[in-house]
Structure formats: C-alpha cells, structure tokens
Amino acid sequence: MSDDGVRGEDPATDDAPARPPLAPAVLGGLTVEEVCRRNLLEHSDEVIYFKDLDSRFLLVSAGCAALHRMTPEQMVGLSDFDLFEPAHAHIAYADEQRVIATGVPMVDQAERERWADRPDSWVASSKFPLRAPDGAIIGTFGISRNVTRLVVAEQEAARNVRATEAANAELRRVEAQLRAVLDGTTDAIARYDADLRYRYLNPAGERVRGLTLDRLLGRTDREAGMVDPFVGAWEAALRRVLASGEPDDLDYAGESADGEEAFFHTRLAPDRDAAGVVVGVLTSTRDVTELKRAEQALARQAMHDSVTGLANRYLLTDRVTQALVRMERYPSRIALYFIDLDHFKHVNDSYGHDVGDSVLVAVAERLRRLARKQDTVARLGGDEFVVLCDRVVTDEDARDIAGRIVAALAEPVVVGSRRIPLSASVGAVLAEDPATSPSDLLRGADAAMYRAKQEGRNRFTVVDPDELEPVEETAVLELELREALEDGHLRLLFQPLLSLSDQRLLGFEALLRWDHPTRGTLAPGDFLAAAEAAGLMGAVGAWVLDAACAQLAAWDPRRPEGSARLTMAVNVSGRQLREPGLVELVREVLGRYALEPAQLSLELTERALVHEGPAAHDTLEELGRLGVRLAVDDFGTTYSSLARLPHFPVSVVKLDQLAGAPWQRGMVAAVIAMAHGLGMSVVGEGIETSDQLDELVDLACDDGQGYLLSRPLSRDEVDALLAAGGTRFPGLTSDDGRAGADLR
C-alpha cells in the first residue's frame, strides 16, 4: 500500500501508518487539553461544573450558566445556596461534601431541582472528586442531565398503573356485588340472544323454570318445554323488544312451586353491544302474588263493610245503577229497603261496642238469609242497612218482603250469655222508571224509614213513586241545614220573660231562626222535622244551648241594678233527652260561661214528657240534681194534664190555653194552685190582650210572656233594652195603642 493510502479506508488496520500529533500551530497556540476543555465548556449545552472544597463554583460550562440565566463568569464564586431553594441547596452541599470526604463519586443520582422562579425539574447528576496533580482532592466536578420528561412519563405510567389496579379492583368488587345480587335476589333474571336462546339464568330463575342453567343454555323456552298459550305471549314480548329496542312489561298468571295460582310481572329490556346494537333481551321476573292478593283485598275492603262483610255504600250505588240500567232493556220494578235498628245506641252504651258489633253481624246474617241471590244486602254505617231487591212484581210483594224483614229482626240476638232484644224500622221505596237516580231512591227509602220510626218503630213504611219528589225536597232541606250549621246561618231571637207582680225583667227564652238563602227566615216548625230525620237534633240543640248561654253571660252583668240574675230558657226535644251526653253538655256549657245552673231553664213539651221512656226520665233527674230549672212547655188545661202534673220532674209550668169559657178559667186556676202546691212556678204564655194579663194576675200566675208584653227581640234590641234599664220594650203596646210603653 502506498504512503498516501486510500481515502476512506479504516485507519485502524494494522498496516495503517501512525498519524503525527497535531501541531500547536493547528491548535491556535493551545494545547490539546485546552482545546478540548474549551469545546467541552464553552460550546456544549451539557451542564458541567467544577467546585472548590466549599462547594463554590470554579468553572462552569456554557450550558450550566444558561440554565441559571447567567454567564459563566457571573457564576464563579457562587454556591447552590445562591441559586436554588434552601432545601435543595442543602442536599446538594451534603452530597458534594460526602464525595470530598470519601473520594467516592456519586453517579446518576436522581435529583429534584427546586426553583424559586420556575417549575421544579428532575436531573440525573454525577459528582466526582476534583484532584490535584499529586492526587489530593481539591474540590468536586459534576455533570447533570435534565430527565424531567422521563420522570414525568414514569410518574404518569405509575399513576396509570395504580388507576388500572384500582379500576380492576372496583370491577372485581362490582362483579362480586352483581353476582351476589343476581344469586341472592328473588327476581328471576335471564339473558336471551337474538335467537331467543338462553345465555344466562340466575338461581331464582332456575327455581322458577324448574331447570338449571346448564340444561337451558343455548335452548329456547319452547325447546325447554314451556307450553302454549304462554310461550307464544312470552316469545312475542321478546321479539317486540328486539325489534323496537324499547323496554316492555308483561303480566301473567301461572303456578307457584307448590302448585298454587301465582302472579308474575316481567320487565324486558334490550341488551346492547358496545356499538349500541340490540343483540338480545334481558328479563327480570318478579312474583307479585302477595301484592296482587293485597290489591284484591283492598278492592274488597273498598267495596265492603269491614264489620259485617256486606256491600258498602259505593258497591250498593253501583248495584242500584246496574239494576236501573237493566230496567231499560227489561221493564220491571225494583225495591230499596232502608233498615234502621231501634235503640241500637242503647246496646252499645249498655254492653259495649264489641257486643254491638256482634249484634250487627247477626243482623247482617239474617238479612243475607232473607235475600235472594240476585239481591244486594249492604251496610251504610252505624245501625243502618239497605236491601236492594231486583225485579219486584207487585206492591204486595214489596210489602211482604218488608214485613219479613221486620219480623226477622224482631227476634232477640244471643251474644254469649246475653239475650239482647232487637227491633227495626224499615222504609221501602219502589221504582219502575230507569231515569230515577240511585241517590233519590236511597233518600226516599231513608225518609220512609223515619216515618216508620215516627209511627212507633218495629214496623215498615212503603213509599210510592209519586212521593219521591217531596222526599227529595226534604233531603235537600237536610243538606242545607247541615251547611247552615257549618256556615253560621242559624240565629236566635229572645222572648223576654217578665214578673207579672211587678213587671220586672227576669230573663229570656231563646227562639231559633234559620236565615235560609232562598226561602227567607224559617221558624223551627219549618225545618226541625228535617233535622230530626237527618239526625241533626243533637247538633242543632247543642248550638242553641251554647249560643244562648254565651249571650246570657254577656247580658247578665248589665241587668237592672238590684235585680236577680237573668235567666235563659232553651227548648229541648224528646230526641235530645234520649241522646247520651246531654247532662255533660249542659254542665260543660254552664262552666264555660260561668253561669249558675239555676240561670238556665230547659223547656220540654208535655207530649215529650209523657211519651219518652225511662232513659229520658233519668236524664231529667240528673239535670234537676245539677240545679238546672226544668219547665214543661205548652201545658194544657185539661183534667188529664192536671192529673199528670205531680209526676213531672219539673219546677216550672208554662200555660198555653188562657182564654175561653169560665170552666177553662177554673182549670187554669186549678193548675196554678196545684203547681204552687208542688213548689212550682207558673208562666203564662201567649199573652196578647190586657184581659188575659189581668186574668192571670188575678189568678196569681207568677210570670208571663207574649206579644202584649214584648215581641221576640234581636240581640241588638236586647242591648238597647238593657241600656235603657230593662224597662222599655220595643213593640210593646199599651192600652191606648202607643208602641214602646213603659212598664213602670
């Protein structure tokens, strides 16, 4: 080979000539070492530095100076404490002092550089001992490479690993929970593919189907033995979901595992793949037998009486409506019987409600036995029953049925060792017009029943169809009366009671009026019968008692000076006497208004005293012991009345018949004399002429009231009367015809 060699050949071959070292002229007068050092430090981006024993910079590369945004000359003499956060500077200083002390280099140490003016960075740092020619350590030198991207990537990878592990753990947890739910639920969960073949079935589903998953997997319900007609409905529901992609529901009846009838509800939902394509159906089937039975029980409770099991008002109304509809197609007649037990409240009060319920059950059973299959027996509540008889041919048939009902309920009921007497009042209404409303029929039968009660109970009354209109009118009046009680349309007038010996004002009698919205002012005779029929006498009486006593409490402090306390008379019906709680009501009202019992006078008619039974008599005795004054109102001047007088537990007699023949005057005198002999006082009612007044004064009648003395007064007129000293009465007529005469 020539000395020139071949350009491009490997100079490392054994026969390659040795090249002479570079001449100083080529190196610009510098040594090779100086050239290398200058290239390494001045023309490299690497971070290279040399430090003394105190870790102060002796020499740095251009890359190191640029990192700190300085020139190499500016960094000479500085330390890491001048460049980094103190924490990082302390760590770097400790590392360098350890290298100086041990002479052992630190290679590729990962360090986190903390900067005050920029984000932290990561470097791989190597530090070596800086030695003098004699080998003595005179400092350190080091090289660092920025590995921030690598560290961040590693951290991100680590985070991803941790997130993946957490996700996998959560997935395993969710899968375990789902498996527990699927295995533990009583709902049958199944998954079908697009060919209606089983892909999954939980344990509850296996129990419902009676087959395990391994025997069902890949088979359809039809192949697995599900029978028609159900399998057809089931597969149709699955196909609907597959075709529409929308959920669906299916309710069906079947058999439970023990062979009993059972009810099921299935929710079907589309099963979609990752792309959202419907690939199958998910079904969840629940046994709703108990719920269905509960619904049936509630439906029965809503239409039947809880005590007797009879139809209630709602079911009765529906049956009556159906009967009227049938009459349109097949002309006939129906009869509705309204039955009310006589004195049933006494049974509850005497024996308790448990015995009362037993009596009601016995009554229901008797009515069931009387009724035909097509008839309806209902209980409306309390002691009220109704029997609907369809296709009644003649009036005689209707009366015969009513008579049999009365006879059946007239037999005593045996409850345990008790033999409880029983009777009922029955009202019946006939209808052959399909346009008749069920409510009209019920009101008509109710009104007929009250007629039977008024005629003596333990009997029946049949109402003809042409009587329905007045019955309806009465029913409307009853409804309006209930509203009047609630809306405050009742009011009182006050009839003054005067002493006939000296014309002193003694008190007032409360007179009830109803301000009817369309009929004007109604007196008690216009509506008390409706109140009686509707069972409102107790409520009306309680309102009158409370309103009258409240007014008396307001007026009594304003009575004429030196006079006795004012009194108030309130009328009480025989029905009120029969109702329990009257004595307690009176005691409560007197206490509420701080009135003395003697200030209250309760007035009853002679008829009520004669015809009411022992219970009413006991109530009167209790009221007398309470201190309330009892008065017999409209007392007649006859020998029979005179004979009864000693037997009445009353303290006041109010005479009604005051004019007429001399023999009648003699009877009035006898009544007054006997009353005084029995310790009673006498009030003359209806005094309209001076002759009547003079006659009563002559006969020593104690007190009086009537239009001659004063017409009934409103509350405002009584206020004016008391303001005038209680001696000048509006409407009072004197002998010379002048109104407003003074009694003094």
pLDDT tens for 44-100 read 778 999 999 999 999 998 889 988 889 999 999 999 999 888 888 898 899 999 999
Judge contact between 271 and 279, C-beta under 8 A: yes
**Into which CATH architecture does domain 32-146 fall?**
2-Layer Sandwich (3.30)
Name the residue among 414, 427, 338, 438 with its Cα closest to residue 383.
338
Phi and psi, residue 104, nearest 5°:
-95, 120
pLDDT tens for 490-503 read 899 999 999 998 88
**Fold match between 32-146 and 480-723?**
no
Confidence of residue 700 (pLDDT cuts 50, 70, 90): very high
- Flag whether pLDDT at 259 surpasses 80: no
Confidence of residue 531 (pLDDT cuts 50, 70, 90): confident
**Domain spans of the chain?**
32-146, 185-293, 306-463, 480-723
**What DSSP line would sit under 117-131, residue for residue?**
SS--EEEEEEEEEEE
- Flag whether pLDDT at 472 surpasses 60: no
pLDDT tens for 135-172 read 999 999 999 888 888 888 888 888 888 888 888 888 88
Contacts of 534 (CB under 8 A, 6+ apart): 478, 481, 482
What is the pTM assigned to this prediction?
Answer: 0.42
- Is the bond preceding residue 24 a cis peptide, omega within 30 degrees? no
**Percent of the chain whose pLDDT exceeds 70:** 86
For residue 391, give the DSSP letter.
S
Judge contact between 334 and 327, C-beta under 8 A: yes
- Tell the CATH superfamily of the 185-293 domain: PAS domain (3.30.450.20)
Helix/strand/coil (H, E, C) string of 654-672?
EECCCCCCHHHHHHHHHHH
Q: What is the mean pLDDT of the segment spanning 275-293?
A: 87
In this structure, the strands spanning 384-389 and 261-272 are unpaired
Does the domain at 480-723 match CATH 3.40.50.360? Answer given as: no
Task: Report the 10 Å Cβ neighbour count for 418.
Answer: 14
Contacts of 33 (CB under 8 A, 6+ apart): none
Q: What is the pLDDT of residue 528?
A: 79
- Flag whether pLDDT at 646 surpasses 70: yes
- Flag whether pLDDT at 695 surpasses 80: yes
Q: What is the pLDDT of residue 332?
A: 82
Q: What is the pLDDT of residue 117?
A: 78
In this structure, the strands spanning 652-655 and 629-635 are parallel
* More confident position, 355 or 209: 355
- Flag whether pLDDT at 473 surpasses 70: no
Confidence of residue 397 (pLDDT cuts 50, 70, 90): confident
List b or e across 677-688, with b for residues whose CB sees 16 or more CB atoms inside 10 angstroms: eeebbbbbbbbe
Q: What is the pLDDT of residue 476?
A: 67
Confidence of residue 735 (pLDDT cuts 50, 70, 90): very low
CATH topology of domain 306-463: Alpha-Beta Plaits (3.30.70)
387 beta partners: 337, 377
| d(C-alpha 399, C-alpha 325), whole Å | 24
Worst-scoring range by mean pLDDT, 319-328, 408-417, 533-542?
533-542
Confidence of residue 744 (pLDDT cuts 50, 70, 90): very low
* More confident position, 225 or 720: 720
**What DSSP line would sit under 516-562, residue for residue?**
ETTTEEE-GGGTHHHHHHTT-HHHHHHHHHHHHHHHHHHHGGGSPTT
| d(C-alpha 239, C-alpha 194), whole Å | 9
